[in-house]
Amino acid sequence: MPEKIIFFDTTLRDGEQSPGFSMNIDEKVRLALQLEKLGVDVIEAGFPISSQGDFEAVKKVSEVIQFSTVAGLCRANKKDIEVGWEALKGAKSPRIHTFIATSPIHMKYKLNKSAEEVLEISKEAVKFAKSLCADVEFSAEDATRSDIDFLCKLIEEVIKLGATTINIPDTVGYTVPEEYSQMVTTILNKVPNIDKAILSVHCHNDLGLAVANSLAAVLAGARQIEGTINGIGERAGNAALEEIIMALNVRKDFYKDVTCSINTQEIYKSSRLLASITGIDVQPNKAIVGKNAFAHEAGIHQDGVIKMRTTYEIMTPESIGLPSNKLVLGKHSGRHALSARLEELSFKLNKEELDKVFYKFKELADKKKEVYDEDLIAIVENQLTKIQEYYTLEYVNIVSGNSTVPTATVQLLKDNNIITDASIGDGPVDAVFKAIERITDIPGRLKDYKIKAITAGKDAQGEVVTVVEFEKSGVNVSGHAISTDIIYASAVAYVNALNRYLSRVNR
Ligand code: KIV
Ligand code: ZN
């Protein structure tokens, strides 16, 4: 009988803590709900003691998630665990995840503690966590550079005190598949009570081996895999969950001893949602979810695929829920047709959400002849991201050309007042941003600006992502918007970043 692999998603914790990937509470909740649809077994929602925002996000995610376990990260001390539990205790299935470093280099230079002290701290932490919560995960940070005998001893002791999952992270992405596999084997053979816990792996991608290491560990007997959507995370990222899921799926013949309960058709949507929330897309050649992952360019390949798909395709786009590039609706389509298509794309919207999406769809269908699934997905993602609107863009007009000084006039709505101003700039987008800055009196430095077409065709919608640092705060905030008018989308994306910044400041 194949054994179940537990998928532990840490997109909202390890993923979110890397630069450029921060999310607000509503965004975390939306992503968590999508992760639940994907079928991940555990959602690590944050590191509650690290900030008020993280605490609230873990609390909110705990309240809304019905089926997955919700975990919160805590260092191995009483205060962290108490705060973590406070955030998690409303969850249907909460998990306290506590950790401490076990490698000589971390113990000496980071913790300034001896191995004996680390052992005692770990025991105390697990004992305390267990007094609050039945489900306790213990991680031995930098396990792959730790002394294996010490690690085995420590694992045995924390299992005695009630740890139900033992995680052995490759924190710095240092190990290689054969070595990691041996480590799993040694722990399974040497720790006498290991059958009382699930052995988990958590790999970083510094050598590009995170997925390979995770899969090697599964073959050796690990039964929980930790990772993130799109492989986001510290430095080179974490193991990309979608890659591991599809490897286990496509190569069921090889990974015969394991099974999992992931709904692979939710992979594409999970990846897109994360990219749209953070404004950071995956590279085109990224396995499984990259734009080119299912594109066949070479003539020989195209010919082969036409004759028999499996000549060059080891999995179908449908298996990850990739929309079929189908022409769906036109400007005469009604609300019912839209709602039916959205359901086929597995979006279940309430009436208020559908009204908003329908309005935007009609606006788009008036401008654009063909509305594709990708357009619909972009509209839904955009409409459902709730950000408090301190400023709303009411009007933008530009004058631009090769013999004109680019000039923009902008109107913003704030507290029911319309404020109008104008500015010149180096180009129309610059003029728009400067006009917004004059109205708000909040200086912003544009750190990044990206524009891309959502579908093919001259009338395609443009998606604009702006990354702005406001008031020299040192924090880069991203904003995004879509429209067939890229200047308008740029203005909305800038105002979106500003509203996110103000939400953060006011919190
Ligand atoms: O990489 C790591 O070691 C971690 C632990 C805190 C689990 O993220
Ligand atoms: Zn990590």
Cα 24 to its chain centre, rounded Å, is: 12
Classify residue 266 by its DSSP letter: G
What is the reported pLDDT for 297? 66
Please identify every stretch of the chain with a pLDDT value under 50, giving residue numbers as ranges.
Answer: none
pLDDT of residue 479: 85
Strands (E), 190-284: 198-202, 224-227, 258-259
- C-alpha to C-alpha distance for 378 and 381, rounded to whole angstroms: 5
Q: Quick one: pLDDT at residue 443?
A: 95
Q: Give the per-residue pLDDT at 21.
A: 87
Name residue, tokens 């290491």. Answer: 213
Number of H helices, E strands in the chain: 16, 18
Spatial CB neighbours of 143, under 8 Å, sequence gap ≥ 6: 102, 103, 151, 167, 168, 169, 170, 171, 183
Which is the closest atom of ligand 1 to the Cα of 226?
7
The pLDDT score that the predictor gives to residue 504 is 75
User: Within 6 Å (CB) of ligand 1, which residues are found?
Assistant: 14, 99, 139, 141, 167, 169, 171, 202, 204
**Closest ligand 1 atom to the C-alpha of 167?**
7
Reported as a single tens digit per residue, the pLDDT across 363-377 is: 888 877 778 777 888
pLDDT for 195-249, tens place per residue? 999 999 999 999 999 999 999 999 999 999 999 999 999 999 999 999 999 999 9
What is the model's pTM? 0.83
State the distance from the centre of ligand 1 to the C-alpha of 98, rounded, in angstroms.
10
Q: What confidence tens digit (pLDDT) does each residue in 334-352 have?
A: 888 888 888 877 788 889 8
**Residue minimizing CA distance to atom 1 of ligand 1:** 171
- Tell me which residue has its CA closest to atom 7 in ligand 1: 139
